[in-house]
A and B are shown apart, each in its own frame.
Chain A
Amino acid sequence: MGQSVVITSGKGGVGKTTAAANLGVGLAVLGRRVALVDADIGLRNLDVVLGLEDRIVYDLVDVADGFCRLRQALVRDRRWPELFLLPAAQTKDKTAVTPDQMRALCADLKREFDYVLVDSPAGIEQGFRNAVAGADRAVVVTTPEVTAVRDADRIIGLLEACQLPDPSLIVNRVRPGLVRRGEMMDVQDVADLLAVPLLGVVPEDEAVITLANRGEPVAAVPGSRAGAAFLAIARRLDGQEGEGASQGLMGRLRRLVGWGR
């Protein structure tokens, strides 16, 4: 029996889909059987990031409606035979599936796969509710920007309300040069404020864009900084301890004392 992990963020454009694709690749590289589920119905993207857009026959809604069998809708990635994609429907909208259907779908997938990674749509509405419905745990993606972190805080609150406490955090698109010059928020500041364990940090990397043009996830390409970061995060997700932001009483005390910051 595998586990299902929802990749979510609240704000759009922070790299949820990129993170989902690359964590999927990373886990497949580690030899895990992985199903990537695109829950962004109506705005499907995960197939494009993976370069699988031409191989889609059926989609998630077809499966939920019983129009095809789950196996028929899963697209195998030929580069990593243990990696499969369940694409979103492009012509429907978020109301085309229910949280109950998503729960059933994740349960079915968990019987066959070690990891079921659900790529959530942006927002806090039905698409988000669907994406988290079948999840055992959550990964929140943010960038070190005020808007993205604020939305991440909202999402973490909503995840707690959905019985998914203790999500872990990926801070994406960090620009070390800007951080050094004091012009970008520090990752530890972000993790301290959100008060969830830090799963990993991904530096901004042009390769994400240039490779996405060709449908290649960065984690597949040796030498890319973002790719290496995603591979490390996949290893941590797969069992090694997270980096662990400083929590607990001491952390709280420190924050209270440092209130003038």
Chain B
Amino acid sequence: MGAVTRGGRLASDRLRSMVVGDRTGMNSRLLKALRAEMLGVVSRYLEVDEAGAEVRLLASGRGCSLVACLPLFRCRRRVQTGPADGVGRV
């Protein structure tokens, strides 16, 4: 396998994204919206590297999984909140 993606690999990748779309009824526009909302929620608690964040739908078994990888700038809560305080504020 060189720098160029082989046809078989390309076919497999395209197929996977089509099948995930068929199974979930999601498209790239909706996934973008979901990603933005997720980042909004998580950013209330943690400092997320938004550019490096990945939110993907993956085929898993006969269904799908939503997998999010959100790298953090600092592994610290943004604002110390009390244990009963469910919502952090910036």
Stretch at the interface among A1-9, A153-161, A214-222: A153-161
Contact indicator B12/A186 (Cβ below 8 Å): yes
Contact of A261 among B11, B13, B23, B67 (CB under 8 A): B13
Residues on the A chain within 8 Å of B11, using CB: 145-146, 184-185
Residue total for B at the interface (Cβ-Cβ under 8 A):
23
Contact of B8 among A150, A154, A157, A179 (CB under 8 A): A179
A179 to B12: give the CA distance in the assembly, Å.
Answer: 12
Contact indicator A252/B18 (Cβ below 8 Å): no
Contact indicator B7/A184 (Cβ below 8 Å): yes
Q: A153-B23, A195-B61, A252-B61 are in contact. Are A146 and B18 (CB under 8 A)?
A: yes
Residues on the A chain within 8 Å of B8, using CB: 178-179, 182-186
Residues of B within 8 A of A (CB): 1, 6-9, 11-16, 18-19, 22-23, 56, 58-62, 65, 67
A sample of 7 more A-B contacts (CB under 8 A), given A193-B16, A261-B9, is A146-B15, A149-B19, A150-B15, A153-B19, A185-B11, A193-B19, A193-B59
Residues of A within 8 A of B (CB): 145-146, 149-150, 153-154, 156-157, 160, 178-179, 181-186, 189, 193, 195-196, 247, 251-252, 255-256, 259, 261
